[in-house]
Amino acid sequence: MWKETVAVDSFRTQKSVTIDGNRYALFKLEGEVYCLDDVCSHEYSLLSEGEVWDREVYCPKHGSRFDIATGAVRSFPATEPVTSYPVEIRDGVIYINTDRR
Ligand code: FES
């Protein structure tokens, strides 16, 4: 189901949003918006608070890297990906499809 989040102009590079009690991380990258699970697949840490470098986000707790476009894990200690969610921009507002949760 598509869910409304925030205006695309309301943040600069990354933002956490909570929908139906679940946290999602929005990222702006090279003119596109991407959405991942905000909570790391290793332990509890928020990817929306991680550093972004070369299309990857670094988990702020132990430094695992995740591909922002796909959620694929790129380095230990995490071994599982995080879910990536489809994004649409409608009239300047970001919508995400949460069906994969
Ligand atoms: S909590 Fe993210 S790598 Fe450990």
CATH assignment of the domain containing 8: 2.102.10.10
Query: For a pocket test of ligand 1, which of 36, 58, 59, 76 has the largest count of ligand atoms closer than 8 A to its C-beta?
Result: 59
Of 8, 11, 21, 10, give the one whose Cα is nearest residue 98.
21
Per-residue pLDDT of the chain (101 residues; tens, 9 = 90+): 999 999 999 999 999 999 999 999 999 999 999 999 999 999 999 999 999 999 999 999 999 999 999 999 999 999 999 999 999 999 999 999 999 88
Paired residues of 47 in beta bridges:
none
Q: What is the pLDDT of residue 100?
A: 86
Domain ranges, residue 61 = 2-97
CA of 18 to the centre of ligand 1 (A): 20
Q: How many domains does the chain have?
A: 1
Q: What is the pLDDT of residue 101?
A: 82
- Is 3's C-beta closer than 6 angstroms to any atom of ligand 1? no
**Two tokens at 47?**
């990817």
